[in-house]
Chains A and B, each alone.
Chain A
């Protein structure tokens, strides 16, 4: 799997590269519009991470160029701008996803996986881990070969974890993802704990081979037994 990162901030570029390489992706980088355009026309990538604000051009025109080349490969915009208008513009131009800075690395990784899965036309729409598979579009959850029913919040929680297996998920991250908005003013995360407890119980009774474990003082992690 080859990924191209077009990002002018070298420090940020380095982090993205490290994080992706840890996930065993092959990573190429381009610090500006010109290099990005050359790499895009010379090679094909499975996924492209594109920063919109480049020193020598607009990332969106690079996106137009790419679409004109009719090359395969997913594209995720990473931008410091996060208005709905910016997102709509980027997605309308053919980007597969739009991620506003700052974001969690885990979020980026799950988005990459998700767009690649979607790019994989006709392929498997399921997110799998252990003997559990989840279809994010039909909200179906299967453990081994048995379909199970989960409440809306339980499903959202499971999906969030299964897209980021083995990664640490903090309570704040989870609260933001499932309950929406931001909850830095909440002084008690019992509601997250209650949700996790229910989901754990469900997974255990269905004999799932995966488990959500608490990481003391930090949050939770989905692991395979």
Chain B
């Protein structure tokens, strides 16, 4: 749930309760006030009637001009003594003029007559008009409160959205951040907290960048520094092998040592190569014909891997020519193809499709999809028994794609492992 939605929801609930309480209190006070007024009127009315009654005047028609009604009845002394005096109550009474029962306010009072007699007076006044007033006021009040609530939420949402903009800019910045490719954070704000957030994010990215840079430089430097000792070691073995006095057994041992040295040297070279790609040290840019590279390398590799009996087919649906570094493109094509040969089984097949902006290589192999999260990691090997793989081929593919703005995707469809390399426009389609 978005922060704005969350905040509005949390704001709405208490506001609604508060407004409801207000409405209730308002209603109680208003109706109390109105009843008080009615009671006051009833009191004045009853006093007039009592005065006239005691004076012996003829009493007005009980109906009078208004809807007020009254009646007087005699009561015993005992009753008089036990009565509590003035009493008010609500009661439905039948009103002649309206021909129906209506709610009314009723007042009972007692008084002593002129001849030691006792009377009880009951006066009534209908309150439907007042009820109507109350309900009108109440409805108006509720409408007002609802409008107020909506206005408050609207204003709040607007202010909130406006003021949380820097937060979303920071989030976007973090989302778009990729290690090694930092963009400056443009997020001007007067809010202290957001200024702090900007600073923290900046400092954090700086630390990540520094650590990444250090690691990158370390790999590069380490591989570079290893070159000379490796050369010395290899050449010493070679020099030793020139010695004719060695026995055949010793020669074979030396050859094995040389073999291992060779692997070590190639591994180191590959790491150095990777580190150079990541440092963007391949700057030469030419027009590269991927189709031609594919044809040439497929021919070579079919010769090299002839013993595996793999059928390789090239389907040229278009001519892919792009401006890039030739060495990198050769390495890209070669690594992808070698991957398809190496992780294939005997008698398997490789289908290579090329269009004007994408290359896709599908090969048979293991009967399960590879772990896409680790596939392009350095030294990742799906099988540890593949002793001839150094686990760097796909890392190189990934690094080259990143350095040249291409995309690489892996999928497993119909028992085939498919690697697709294409321009970023191709991916969008």
The residues of A with any CB-CB pair to B shorter than 8 Å are: 9, 11-12, 15-16, 18-19, 22, 80-85, 101-106, 168, 170, 172, 175, 179-188, 190-191, 194, 215-219
Q: How far is the CA of A218 from the CA of B237 in the complex (A)?
A: 13
Is B306 at the interface (CB under 8 A from chain A)? yes
With a CB–CB cut-off of 8 A, which chain B residues contact A184? 262-263, 266, 388, 390
Q: Are B389 and A102 in contact (CB under 8 A)?
A: no
With A83-B282, A180-B300 known as contacts, the answer to whether A187 contacts B241 (CB < 8 A) is no
Give the chain B neighbours of A18 by CB distance below 8 A: 239
In the complex the two chains form, is A84's CB within 8 Å of B259's CB? no
Closest to B255 in A: A218
- For the complex, what is the distance from the CA of A187 to the CA of B241, rounded to whole Å? 24
A218–B248 alpha-carbon span in the complex (Å): 11
Known contacts A85-B283, A101-B228, A185-B342, A175 near B304 by CB under 8 Å: yes
B21 interfacial by beta-carbon distance below 8 Å:
no
Give B84 Cβ to nearest chain A Cβ, in Å.
110
Contacts of B281 in A (CB 8 A): 83, 85
Query: Which residue on A lies nearest to B248, using beta carbons?
Result: A216
The reply to whether B227 and A102 form a contact with Cβ atoms under 8 Å apart is yes
New contact pairs (12) apart from A102-B231, A102-B265, A218-B255, CB-CB < 8 Å: A19-B235, A80-B227, A82-B269, A84-B282, A84-B327, A101-B231, A102-B227, A105-B235, A185-B393, A186-B388, A187-B387, A219-B255
As a 0/1 sequence over residues 279 to 321 of chain B, the CB contacts with chain A under 8 angstroms (1 = contact) are 0011110000000000000001001111110000000000000
Residues of A with C-beta under 8 A to B262: 170, 172, 184
Q: Is B276 engaged at the interface, CB distance under 8 Å to the other chain?
A: yes
- Select which of A9, A85, A187 is within 8 A of B232 by beta carbon: A9
Smallest CB gap from A10: residue in B: B232
Contact digits for B379-415, partner A, Cβ 8 Å, 1 yes 0 no: 0000000011110010000000000000000000000
Contact check, B259 vs A12: say whether CB atoms are below 8 A apart: no
Whether the Cβ atoms of A102 and B307 lie closer than 8 Å is no
The yes or no answer to B12 lying at the interface (CB within 8 A) is: no
Q: Flag if B239 contacts A12 (CB, 8 Å).
A: no
Q: In the assembly, what is the distance between CA of A216 and CA of B238, in Å?
A: 16
Query: Please, how many angstroms separate the alpha-carbon atoms of A180 and B331 in the complex?
Result: 11
On whether the beta carbons of B390 and A181 are closer than 8 Å, the reply is no
Contact A170 B258 (CB under 8 A): yes
The 4 closest A-B pairs by CB, nearest first: A102-B231, A218-B255, A80-B227, A101-B231
Q: Which residues of B line the A interface, CB within 8 A?
A: 224, 227-228, 230-232, 234-236, 238-239, 241-242, 248, 251-252, 255, 258-259, 262-263, 265-266, 269, 272, 276, 281-284, 300, 303-308, 327, 334, 338, 342, 387-390, 393
Contacting residue for A218 out of B231, B232, B235, B252, CB 8 A? B252
Verify B266–A182 contact, CB threshold 8 A: yes
Q: Which residue of A lies closest to B338 (CB)?
A: A185
A182–B392 CA distance with the chains assembled, in angstroms:
13
Known A80-B227, A102-B265; contact A188-B307, beta-carbon cutoff 8 A: yes
Query: Given known contacts A11-B232, A85-B284, A218-B252, is B388 in contact with A104 (CB within 8 Å)?
Result: no
Q: When the two chains form their complex, are residues B390 and A185 in contact, meaning their CB atoms are under 8 A apart?
A: yes
**Cβ-closest chain A residue relative to B241:** A168
Known: A80-B228, A101-B228, A183-B304. A15 touches B235 (CB 8 A): yes
CA distance A187 to B266 in the complex (A): 15
Q: How far is the CB of A167 from chain B (nearest CB, A)?
A: 8
Residue pair A22, B242 in contact (C-beta under 8 Å): yes
CA distance A151 to B412 in the complex (A): 40
A179 adjacent to B276 (CB under 8 Å): no
- Chain B residues with CB under 8 Å of A168's CB are 241, 255
How far apart are A142's CB and chain B's nearest CB, in angstroms? 27
Q: Does B255 contact A217, Cβ atoms closer than 8 Å?
A: yes
User: How far is it, in angstroms, between the C-alpha of A101 and the C-alpha of B227 when the chains are bound?
Assistant: 6
Known contacts A85-B284, A180-B300, A182-B266, A9 near B228 by CB under 8 Å: yes
Please name all residues of chain B whose beta carbon is closer than 8 Å to the beta carbon of A104 when the two chains form the complex.
234-235, 238
Q: Give the nearest-CB partner of A19 in chain B.
A: B239
Q: How far is the CA of A172 from the CA of B255 in the complex (A)?
A: 11
- Bound Cα distance A172, B342 (Å): 17
B238 and A105 form a contact (CB under 8 A)? yes
CA distance A99 to B252 in the complex (A): 28
C-alpha gap A168/B234 in the complex (Å): 14
Please, could you name 23 A-B residue pairs with CB atoms under 8 Å apart, sorted by A?
A12-B232, A15-B239, A80-B227, A82-B272, A84-B327, A85-B284, A101-B230, A102-B227, A102-B231, A102-B265, A103-B231, A104-B234, A170-B258, A179-B300, A179-B303, A182-B269, A184-B390, A185-B389, A186-B304, A188-B308, A215-B251, A216-B248, A217-B255
A79 — nearest CB in chain B belongs to which residue? B227
Q: Are A106 and B238 in contact (CB under 8 A)?
A: yes
Using CB atoms, name the residue of chain A closest to B236.
Answer: A15
Known: A15-B236, A102-B235. A83 touches B276 (CB 8 A): yes
Chain B residue nearest to A219 (CB atoms) is B255
Q: How far is the CB of B321 from chain A (nearest CB, A)?
A: 21
Asked if residues B255 and A170 are in contact (CB atoms below 8 Å), the reply is yes
Do B283 and A217 touch (CB < 8 A)?
no
Residues of chain B lying within 8 A (CB to CB) of residue A217:
252, 255
Report the Cα distance A9→B226, complex, angstroms: 13
Q: Chain B residue with minimal CB distance to A182? A: B266
